[in-house]
A and B are shown apart, each in its own frame.
Chain A
Amino acid sequence: MKVYECCGVESVTKKVYCSTCRQEIKNEREVPDEGTVYSYTVIHIAPADYAHLAPYTVALVQLKDSTAKLTVRIQESVQIGDPVQLDQIADGTYIYQKVRTA
Chain B
Amino acid sequence: MSVYVHSVSMTKFGNSENTSLKDLMLAASREALEEARELKIDAVFVGNYMGGSLANQEILGAIVANDLGLGPIPTAKLEGACASGGIALRQGILGILSGEYESVLVVGVEKMKHASTATVTQFINSAMDQTTNERYAGLTFPGFFGVVANRYFYETGANKSHLAKLALKNRENALQNPLAQFRKPATLEEIMNARMITDPLGLFDCSPITDGAAAVVLSRKPSDIKILASAQASGPTMMQDAIDLLSLPAIRISGQQAYEKAGVSPEDIDVVEIHDCFSMTEMLAIEELGFFPKLEGWLAIEQGKTCVNGEKPVNTSGGLLSRGHPIGATGVAQFYQLVLQLRGHAPNQLEKQPRLALAQNLGGTGSYSVVHILERV
| A, B: real partners | yes
Chain A positions near chain B (C-beta within 8 angstroms): 9, 11-13, 38-51, 53, 56, 58-60, 68-73, 80, 91-94
A45 touches which of B197, B200, B239 (Cβ 8 Å): B197
> Smallest Cβ distance from A64 to chain B, in angstroms?
15
Main secondary structure of the interface of B (DSSP, over half): helix
- Bound state CA distance, A70 and B60, in angstroms? 39
- Bound state CA distance, A91 and B132, in angstroms? 11
Residues of B179-209 whose CB lies within 8 A of A: 195-201
Chain B residues lying within 8 Å of A43, measured Cβ to Cβ, are: 138-140, 142-143, 146, 198
Main secondary structure of the interface of A (DSSP, over half): strand
A-B residue pairs in contact (CB < 8 Å), sample of 25: A9-B243, A12-B133, A41-B146, A41-B147, A41-B201, A42-B196, A43-B138, A43-B143, A44-B198, A44-B199, A45-B198, A47-B121, A47-B122, A48-B121, A51-B118, A56-B138, A71-B133, A71-B137, A72-B137, A73-B137, A80-B151, A93-B133, A93-B138, A94-B133, A94-B137
Chain A residues lying within 8 Å of B139, measured Cβ to Cβ, are: 43, 58, 71
Chain B residues lying within 8 Å of A38, measured Cβ to Cβ, are: 151, 245
Chain B residues lying within 8 Å of A45, measured Cβ to Cβ, are: 117, 121, 140, 142, 197-198
Complex interface bits, B257-299 against A, C-beta within 8 A gives 1, otherwise 0: 0000000000000000000000000000000000000000000
Range, interface on chain B? 35 or more
In the complex, the answer to whether B136 meets A46 with C-beta atoms within 8 Å is no
Total A-B contacts with CB atoms under 8 angstroms apart: 112
Q: Which residue from chain B places its CB closest to the CB of A73 in the assembled complex?
A: B137
In the complex, the answer to whether A42 meets B198 with C-beta atoms within 8 Å is yes
Q: Which residue from chain A places its CB closest to the CB of B202 in the assembled complex?
A: A44
- 16 further A-B pairs in the complex, CB-CB below 8 A; given A11-B240, A44-B198, A49-B138: A12-B133, A39-B245, A43-B146, A46-B118, A47-B125, A47-B140, A53-B138, A58-B139, A58-B147, A60-B147, A69-B239, A71-B239, A72-B137, A73-B137, A73-B138, A93-B136
In the complex, the answer to whether A91 meets B136 with C-beta atoms within 8 Å is yes
In the complex, the answer to whether A58 meets B196 with C-beta atoms within 8 Å is no
- Bound state CA distance, A92 and B134, in angstroms? 9
Q: Which residue from chain A places its CB closest to the CB of B151 in the assembled complex?
A: A39
Chain A residues lying within 8 Å of B195, measured Cβ to Cβ, are: 44
Q: Which residue from chain B places its CB closest to the CB of A37 in the assembled complex?
A: B150
- Bound state CA distance, A45 and B196, in angstroms? 8
Assuming the contacts A13-B241, A70-B240, asked whether A46 and B140 have C-beta atoms less than 8 A apart, the reply is yes
- Bound state CA distance, A42 and B200, in angstroms? 8
Chain A residues lying within 8 Å of B199, measured Cβ to Cβ, are: 41-42, 44
> Smallest Cβ distance from A5 to chain B, in angstroms?
13
In the complex, the answer to whether B138 meets A50 with C-beta atoms within 8 Å is yes
